[in-house]
Amino acid sequence: MSDAVKQEEHAGIGPRRLPAASICCAIGWLGLLLAVGLFGPWLAPYDHTAIDLLDRLAPPIGFGGSLSHPLGTDELGRDLLSRLLVSIQMSVLIACGATLLGAVLGTLLGFLAAHMRGTVEQIILALVDFQATMPFLILALAILAFIGNSLPIFMGLLALHGWERYARIARGLALGANAQGYAGAVWQLGASPVRIYLFHILPNVMATLIVSMTIAFPEIVLVESGLSFLGLGVQPPATSLGSMVGYGRDYLASAPWILIIPAATISTMALSVSLLGDWLRDRFERTGLR
Amino acid sequence: MTFLVVRLARALLTILIVVSFAFVVLRLSGDPALAILTNEAPPEALLAFRQSWGLDEPILVQYFNYLRTIFSGDLGMSMRDGRDAFTVVAERIPITLAITVPALMLSIMIGVTAGICAAFNPNSRLDRSIMLGAVAGFTVPSFVLGLLLVLVFSVWFGVLPSGGAQRWTNAILPIVTLGVGSAATLARYTRAALLEVLDRPYVRTASAKGVPWWQTILCHALPNAAIPMVTILGFLVGQLIAGAVVVENVFSWPGVGRLLVASVASRDLAVVQCLLFFVAATMIAANIATDILYSLFDPRLRASANRGGA
């Protein structure tokens, strides 16, 4: 390879290279999880709550199990594959919903702070500082204790995770964009603030916000699974990956697969999004999109 | 001096927001009297509670009354064991410190060493494995890591106890579980901070002058790399507190985290509120310590703060 080509590639303007194998695996795995998230319950061989006490704690295939329960069964004889598919749907739904809600809320507040300045900005920044200071798990537990739990409350609660990051980024970028010619030009043409922020500034700051979402998503997956593991998140009969790990804990010695299968799913999901986020960040940095 | 005053003012503001947060969520829970005393309380008790907390007053008056009560040190009684909520929380604090302090030291030892090794061999196989380990350390939830350690060391090998707090050996698995998660974060920061510094002209100048490499690292690179690393101290403390909540429940360690989850499950609101203030105070202390350390490491910041710039 000539030096010129090397330099071009280094500057990010050369021929596009395919992403590394790990990134391809991560994208493939996330695609599969998303498909399961969309169609999980229809793919499940059994109802995830169907109990079969005669077939309790059956091991998965390869460890003495049979094809009728490929991933084995739990302490009540419920099929683990079916439970896993339903749990993935629940966890993906909650994590996607909470990430999107958090991004919308944070970005709107960030834009509001950048537009209004003054007292409004100071109040939003004080809230940002407060949220960044307190560990989110503690705030979440306090809210769950005071208000109680239901699926919409739980999702709204997780949406509060990381809103301050979007707010800070959106405010900073909007202040920067306001100082640039294009925002001023649209302003002079008489566009409304909503139009300027949504149609002109937002597309320009989208790349950075998407990278932030890839940081927030695995964190939300981990917080959701942690709370569900503690028995304070998703409530039965609904199930999520974290609550599956929580139930599996009591059978750690006799049936470790109940715990290991959902635990591995949580970790690989979070790992895949993290790898994808790192890769996206590198790409945006190289192409100067940030 | 200005620097400290600004930091203390910010700390006070955070305390005010935390107390206001508690007030807002307590109001959102419906009738605080019912929430704290439950439906089973006799009507006279509910009435007395409402009067003593001024719940029949306008909302703004209630808010200032609430602030006054909290700042006078009255944090309420624990519903579950009838004692002062502050006493219930205070007696659990040393038990939590017994695992979080060693975990912090362990994470600094592992994280900083791994970060230094990775930064000195950038893009090598060692660097890539350390960074992969760091990403894995971040993405494996602490409850999964804890339970896997129990599976290996308690169930399969039978060398360490799986839970409880009877002997010092009971603390080993919780400490390792907590420490490894924070070490992963620290390793990434250390690597990034060192790589940034190693690229600076003063490091190149030192090398060009013939200063031995170990002296360049010890006297020039590490002190400057320490500046950005100090900033994550507050973040690490937060991570340890949140981690302790989960890890204490995995290992039945009777500390603050286990008390919090039990209090949330039984809606013992006075204790939850007290724990919320305790965590806020810890985080504020950690952030002030971070700011002071930061200014010690970086005299430029102190100078600009004294001029009133930051």
How far is A119 from chain B, CA to nearest CA, in Å? 15
Chain B neighbors of A95, CB-CB under 8 A: none
Per-residue pLDDT at A4: 45
Say which of A138, A226, A271 has its CB closest to residue B135: A271
- With vertex at residue A186, the alpha carbon angle to CA A184 and CA A188, rounded to the nearest 5 degrees, is 70
Query: What would the pLDDT profile of B213-223 be if each residue is shown by its tens digit?
Result: 888 888 888 88
Angle at B216 (CA atoms; ends B213, B222), nearest 5 degrees:
120
Q: What is the mean pLDDT of residues A69-82?
A: 83
**Structure confidence at residue B176 as a pLDDT band (50, 70, 90):** very high
Q: Provide the pLDDT for residue A259.
A: 87
Better pLDDT: B107 or B67: B107
Q: Which of B138, B143, B275 sits opposite A229 (nearest CB)?
A: B143
Which residues in chain A touch residue B11, judged by CB atoms under 8 angstroms apart? Answer: none
Residues of chain B with CATH 1.10.3720.10: 89-266
| pLDDT number for residue A6 | 44
Question: A270–B263: do the CB atoms touch at under 8 Å?
Answer: no
Q: What is the 3-state secondary structure (H, E, C) of chain B?
A: CHHHHHHHHHHHHHHHHHHHHHHHHHHHCCCHHHHHHCCCCCHHHHHHHHHHCCCCCCHHHHHHHHHHHHHCCCCCECCCCCCEHHHHHHCCHHHHHHHHHHHHHHHHHHHHHHHHHHHHCCCCHHHHHHHHHHHHHHHCCHHHHHHHHHHHHHHHCCCCCCCCCCCHHHHHHHHHHHHHHHHHHHHHHHHHHHHHHHCCHHHHHHHHCCCCHHHHHHHHHHHHHHHHHHCCHHHHHHHHHHHHHHHHHHCCCCCHHHHHHHHHHCCCHHHHHHHHHHHHHHHHHHHHHHHHHHHHHCHHHHHHHHCCCC
Select, from the ranges A3-17, A30-44, B12-26, B106-120, the one with the highest average predicted confidence (pLDDT). B106-120
pLDDT for res A186: 83
Question: Which residues in chain A have their CB less than 8 angstroms from residue B246's CB?
Answer: 137, 226, 229-230
- CB distance A223 to A161 below 8 Å: yes
* Lowest-confidence region among A185-199, B60-74, B178-192: B60-74
Any B CB within 8 A of A93 CB: no
Tokens of A72: 């084995």
Instruction: Write down the pLDDT at residue A7.
Output: 44
**Residue B181 and residue B184: Cα distance in Å, rounded?**
5
- The answer to whether residue A230 scores a pLDDT higher than 70 is yes
Residue A17 clears pLDDT 80, i.e. is over it: no
Among residues 279-298 of chain B, which lie with CB inside 8 Å of chain A?
A: 279-280, 283-284, 287
Per-residue pLDDT at A210: 85
CB of A134 within 8 Å of any CB in chain B?
A: yes
CATH superfamily of B89-266: MetI-like (1.10.3720.10)
* A258 touches B144 (CB < 8 A): no
The confidence score (pLDDT) of residue B103 equals 94
pLDDT score of B99? 92
Q: Is the pLDDT of residue A127 over 50?
A: yes
Q: Which residue of B has its CA nearest to A133?
A: B283
pLDDT, residue A14, reads: 40
Q: How confident is the model at residue B301 (pLDDT cuts 50, 70, 90)?
A: low
pLDDT at B51 over 80: no
Task: Name the closest residue on chain A to residue B158, using Cα atoms.
Answer: A253
Query: Which residues in chain A are closer than 8 Å to B150, comparing Cβ atoms?
Result: 252
Work out the pLDDT band at A155, boundaries 50, 70, 90.
confident
Nearest CA in chain B to A269: B139
- The b-or-e profile of A116-126 (16+ CB within 10 A means b, else e) is eeeeebeebbe
Interval B118-131: pLDDT, tens: 888 888 888 888 88
Rounded distance, CA A149 to CA A130, Å? 23
The candidate with the shortest Cα–Cα distance to B257, out of B271, B267, B21, is B271
Write out the two tokens for A26. 């991560």
φ/ψ of residue B77, rounded to 5: -105, 145
Q: How far is residue B213 from each of residues A249, B124, B126, B204, B222, measured CA to CA in Å?
A: 50, 19, 20, 11, 12
**Which pLDDT does position B288 carry in this prediction?**
84
A256 and chain B in contact, CB less than 8 A: yes
> Which of B14, B139, B143 has its CB closest to that of A245?
B143
Nearest chain A residue to B267 by CA distance is A145
The answer to whether residue B241 scores a pLDDT higher than 60 is yes
Question: What are the C-alpha distances in Å from A178 to residues A163, A201, A203, A208?
Answer: 22, 8, 14, 17
CB B107 within 8 A of CB B180: yes
Residue A270 confidence (pLDDT) above 60: yes
* pLDDT computed for residue A187 by the predictor: 81
- At A290 the pLDDT is 42
pLDDT of residue B306: 59
What residues pair up with B84 in beta bridges, in sequence order? B77
Most confident of A149-158, B169-178, B233-242: B169-178
Top-confidence range, A172-186, B29-43, B236-250: B236-250
pLDDT category at B174 given cuts 50, 70, 90 is very high
Q: Which residues of B touch A143 (CB under 8 A)?
A: 25
Nearest alpha-carbon partner for A157 in A89, A90, A209, A101: A101
Would you call B256 an interface residue with chain A, using a CB distance cutoff of 8 Å? no
How far A234 CA sits from the closest chain B CA (Å)? 13
List the single range of A111-125, B71-85, B113-127, B130-144 with lowest mean pLDDT: B71-85
* Residue A136 pLDDT level (bands cut at 50, 70, 90): confident
**B14–A142: do the CB atoms touch at under 8 Å?**
no
Instruction: Say whether pLDDT at B163 is over 90.
Output: no
Asked if residue B67 has pLDDT above 50, the reply is yes
Residue-level pLDDT at B38: 67
Percent of chain A whose predicted confidence (pLDDT) is above 70: 91
- Specify the pLDDT at position A218: 85
- Chain mean pLDDT for chain A: 82
Q: What is the pLDDT of residues A271-286, one digit of tens each?
A: 888 888 888 877 776 6
pLDDT at A286: 65
Q: Which residues of B touch A129 (CB under 8 A)?
A: 10, 13-14
- CA B133 to chain A, closest CA, distance in angstroms equals 11
Which position has the token pair 């970790």?
Answer: A267
User: What confidence score (pLDDT) does residue A5 get?
Assistant: 42
Shortest CA distance from B281: residue in chain A: A134
DSSP 8-state assignment for residue A235: P
Task: Give how far the C-alpha of residue A7 lies from the chain's centroid of Cα atoms, to the nearest Å.
Answer: 36
Q: What pLDDT shows up at residue A157?
A: 87
According to DSSP H, which parts of A117-160 are helical?
118-133, 136-147, 151-159
**Half-sphere exposure of B83 toward its Cβ, with a 13 Å CA cutoff?**
7
Size of interface A-B (CB pairs under 8 A): 132
- Tell me: pLDDT of B12 over 80: yes
CB contact under 8 A, B279 and A138: yes
| Structure confidence by residue, pLDDT tens digits, B268-283 | 778 888 888 888 888 8
pLDDT at position A108 is 93
Helical spans, DSSP H, in A11-79: 21-43
Q: Which of A146, A245, A266 sits opposite B29 (nearest CB)?
A: A146
> In this predicted structure, what is the pLDDT of residue A101?
92
Q: Pick from A29, A124, A146, A273 the residue to mutate for testing the B interface (most B CBs within 10 Å).
A: A146
Q: Does B202 touch chain A (CB under 8 A)?
A: no
What's the mean pLDDT when you consider all of chain B? 83
End-to-end CA distance of chain A: 29
Distance in Å, alpha carbon of A246 to nearest chain B alpha carbon: 9
**pLDDT at position A287:** 62
Name the residue with higher pLDDT: B3 or B43. B43
**pLDDT above 90: percentage of residues in chain A:** 6
User: From CA A280, how far away is CA A275, in angstroms rounded?
Assistant: 9
Distance from CA of B176 to the nearest CA of A (A): 18
Interface of B with A in 126-165 (CB under 8 A): 135-136, 138-144, 147-148, 150-151, 155
Nearest CA in chain B to A128: B14
Identify the CA nearest to A134 among candidates B231, B239, B127: B239
